[in-house]
Structure formats: C-alpha cells, structure tokens
Chain A
Amino acid sequence: MSKWYESNTSGIVVSTRIRLARNLAGVPFPGRMNDSQRTEVNKKIIDSIMNGSSALSKDLKVVDMDSISDAEALAMVERHIISPAFARNRKNRRLILSLDESISIMLGEEDHIRIQVLKGGLQLFETYEIANNIDTLLSESLTIAFDEQLGYLTECPTNLGTGLRASVMLHLPALESTGEISQLADAVSKIGLTIRGMYGEGSGSKASLYQLSNQVTLGISEKSALDNLKSITMQMIEREQVTCKNFDKISLEDSVFRSFGILKNARLLSSDEMMQYVSQIKIGVSLGIIKLKDENIPIKLMIETQPAMMALKLNSQDASERDIERAKIFREQMS
C-alpha cells in the first residue's frame, strides 16, 4: 500500500499534521506511571480502538515498541510517524499505526494518547476530522481527563485546552535565501504560531523545510486554531511565490539543472547533499523547469533515503554503502 507521502507533496505545503494529546482520568501521566499502570493503560486504549465498533481497526496494527530495533525506530522518526522522544524511550510503549502510516497513535509518549494524522499537501480540516473521529471513538469507552475550565488535561501545561497541535510543513527556499524567514518566525510568534525545523522542536531546517504550527491551545477552539493556521499558511505561500518570481531566471534554472545533473550522475551521495539537491529539484518541478514522471518523487525519495531508512534497507550501518545505494536510487529515479 502506498504511504501518505506519495501523494500531494509537490506544492509549497508539503504536508499537514494534526496531533491531539489525550489522557485517561485518574491515572498518573506517563512521566509518573509505574510499569504495571503503563501495561494496563496501554491495554485499555488498544482494546478501545481495536475492538471498537469502528471500521477503522481493519487498517490499523499495534506495534510493540520494545521489540523493534534502534534503526527501525529512527526510520519511523524519519518517516514522521513518531517523535524523537518516543524513539529514544521505547520500554513498554505501544504504537497503533495505519497501513499507509497516515494515522499513528503513540501510547505512553508525553501523554497516555497522542493521536497523529498526516496527509500530503494543505488539508488541515480533512486531517483534523480523522483525528477528531478517533478521539470521539476513544471517548466512547474511556474516561478522558477533562476539566470544564482547562479543557483536555495534559502532562505539559502548554497543551492544555484542546490538546491540538496542527502543523504544516512548508518548503520555503526563496524566503530562506533572502533571510525573510527569521523575520516571519518573529512575526508569527506574536500571533500564537511558531516556525520550527522539519523534525519539530529543537531541530534545524534542512532542504528549506519548515514546520508552521499553532502554539496556543487554551481559550481557542479547534476551528479557530485551524482557521488561523490556514490563513497564515496562505500568506506564507503567497510571499514565497512573490519572492521566487523576483529571482534571476537564468541563475535559478542554472542551480536547478546543476542539482539535477548531480542527482542523475552521482556515484556517492551523502544525506546532507541529497537534501540540498532535492530542495532545488522541488523548486524546479514546481516552476516547471524540469519534469519528472511523478511530481511526488522528490519528497518520497527524500524520506526513503534518510540515513536510518537506508540502514534498514541495506541492513548495514556502513555510511559509504548507504551513500552508494542512495546515489543509485536517485540515478534510477531522476532519469
């Protein structure tokens, strides 16, 4: 089955992510739980989703995080299915994952339940609706921690209220090259949004990819938070397009074709180099400078040739072996 990142990723908005933080009432949060409580909570949540009346469970599987390797866990981070923190601490943790990997529910991360839904392109409301339905399904059989004043109760007070973190991954090479991105980061922080690197909190930007997300969760409804994020996203898209139009056409084409040339011919390709060139290819495809058989290829390959993904594919930790294989994949797909 194809993965969520194999469609709708060719625009400035590469993907949309919705995350809902939920907890069971009357049980300590994951940070203060003992192992037997953890086992019991995991079981309750898994039963609620997998044995519920919803047709959803057909497409879901439960992953026992204890039993997977470091490389597998890191590869999940690279595919944006789980958080880096969840990959680091996997003891007695469970993950409920859909076949296309667009739905991932982390059990025992910072909260008992972290519902995450990913979609290619800008699909804030559609993506939220899927997460919302899973949340409603859970609340049919579980008592979710909620307070009339503070809303959904979460381990970290920054998530209180709706527990909703909505984010869009934006490809902003033009705004990055003019330095305007740092001014925008300042500006959005004043209206309750934040811009981060592609792997979230604390991660730097690679391939000109940035995550724009809501920061405030208390006192603002889900709909208003999504409306705000959508409206700022639309403005960012426009700014990126206008800035891009002002670039010197011939130098832009030159840098796109040089990157294309390298990806079509390289025999060794490191992960950092790949990210840099894929970003150029992505601009080339969106401006019609180059044509690929499938315009989702840049993002698909970018995700599938990340270090842990390659280590998993080759069953080897050898970096040069990975660089050879990565170069081979790009040569085949870029021609």
Chain B
Amino acid sequence: MMCEQCGKNPATTHVHTVINGVSAQKNLCTYCAVASGYAGFQSGGLMNMLSSVFGDSLAAHPTSNEKRCNCCGATFSDIAESGKAGCSDCYREFGPQLMNSLQRMHGKTKHVGKVPQSASGEVRAAAYLQNLKDELAQAVTSEEFEKAAKLRDQIKLAEAGENHE
C-alpha cells in the first residue's frame, strides 16, 4: 500500500480515527506521518526504529535539494529522525511542519510565562500584562479584593501602554 498523501512511498503508519462515531483510516509513509504530527519526537526511538526498518522510505522521500537550515545545516528529515532540532533557527525554518507535533506533545502551541530581557519591548509588555491578568484571576479566586483592585488598575495602565514593569 502506498502513502495516500504523497503517493511516493510505502505506507508504514496507519492511523485509525473515530470522530462522533464516524471511523476513518489514514495510511501514510513515515515522512508524511511526521509532517502530519502522527509520529516522531519520542526521544528519537520510534523514528529511529522505523527509519532502520523502513530505511528506504524515509531516505527516498527527501530530495537532494531538501531545504536546509541556514544556521546549522539540518534538514527536516534530520529533525524528524532524531527528534531534536539542530539550532534555535530550525524552529523558524521548519516551524509550520513542526506545529502539528507540538500541538500533540504539549496540547498548546503558544508560550505563556517568562520572557528574556533580550526579547522586544512589545513581547515583554505582553508577557507582563498576561502575568498581571493571571495574578488578578488568582486574587479574585482567593477573595483578595483589595489586591484585585490594585491589579485591575495596573492592567489598565499596562493596556494603555504605560508599562511600569
């Protein structure tokens, strides 16, 4: 059976889904399975196993002019096989192809939390505002209304662009 997505390689990943009682079957090659977020990133284990057993399918898919990361030279196949990015730029180069896997892995694809000093003022301001909102939600839950009122004022200021971080 050939991969139903690219039609070039043998299908080695079979995905059975049941959504609202309707079942469907997808048959993909290992390369397309990773690109669709159905495999990979299991510490390299699954992909290493698959690429050694079905070595030709993974090797045959990428062409010799497959896109390489400008910084470290890694290809998407390198990342899929090892489950590891080559450098921080790889995430920009191959971001769209990785998104499905990240969604499966973490459930979300948008960072929340600390932002380094080197990040742009805009990013830092957004993180500061989010932090205030989290604190406000918590203050309301724990019925600390004075604290909540202060936080609400700080949020208003932050939203108006007067970041007092």
Contact = CB atoms under 8 A, between A and B. Distances in A.
B89 to A, nearest CB: 7
Nearest to B108: A219
Contacts of A222: 113-114
A263 to B, nearest CB: 38
Contacts of A110: 84
B66 interface: no
B134 to A, nearest CB: 7
**In the complex, which range does the number of interface residues on chain A fall in?**
35 or more
B88 A153 contact: yes
A156 B108 CA distance: 16
A160 B108 contact: no
Contacts of B98: 157
Given A28-B71, A157-B41, A220-B113, A23 B88 contact: yes
A157 B85 contact: yes
Nearest to A31: B84
Interface stretch (B2-10, B25-33, B117-125, B152-160): B117-125
A45 interface: no
A151 interface: yes
B38 to A, nearest CB: 15
Interface stretch (A141-149, A265-273, A308-316): A141-149
Interface in B65-120: 71-74, 82-89, 91-92, 95, 98, 101-102, 105-120
A85 B56 CA distance: 30
A147 B111 contact: yes
A23 B110 CA distance: 19
**In the complex, which range does the number of interface residues on chain B fall in?**
35 or more
A27 B119 contact: no
A292 interface: no
Given A147-B91, A148-B119, A220 B86 contact: no
A31 B86 contact: yes
A220 B105 CA distance: 13
B109 A150 contact: yes
Contacts of A291: none
Interface in A103-159: 110, 132, 135-136, 139-140, 143-158
> Majority SS of interface residues in chain A?
loop
A217 interface: yes
Task: Determine which residue in B101, B108, B112 has the highest number of CB atoms from chain A within 10 A of its CB, and name it.
Answer: B112
Interface in A255-312: none
Contacts of B72: 28-29, 32
A89 to B, nearest CB: 14
Nearest to A154: B85
A45 B85 CA distance: 21
A153 B90 CA distance: 10
Contacts of A135: 114, 116
B108 A218 contact: yes
Nearest to A161: B111
A223 interface: yes
Interface in A202-222: 216-222
Interface of A: 23, 25-29, 31-32, 110, 132, 135-136, 139-140, 143-158, 160-162, 164, 192, 216-224
7 A-B pairs closest in CB distance: A219-B108, A151-B111, A145-B88, A218-B106, A221-B113, A28-B72, A153-B88
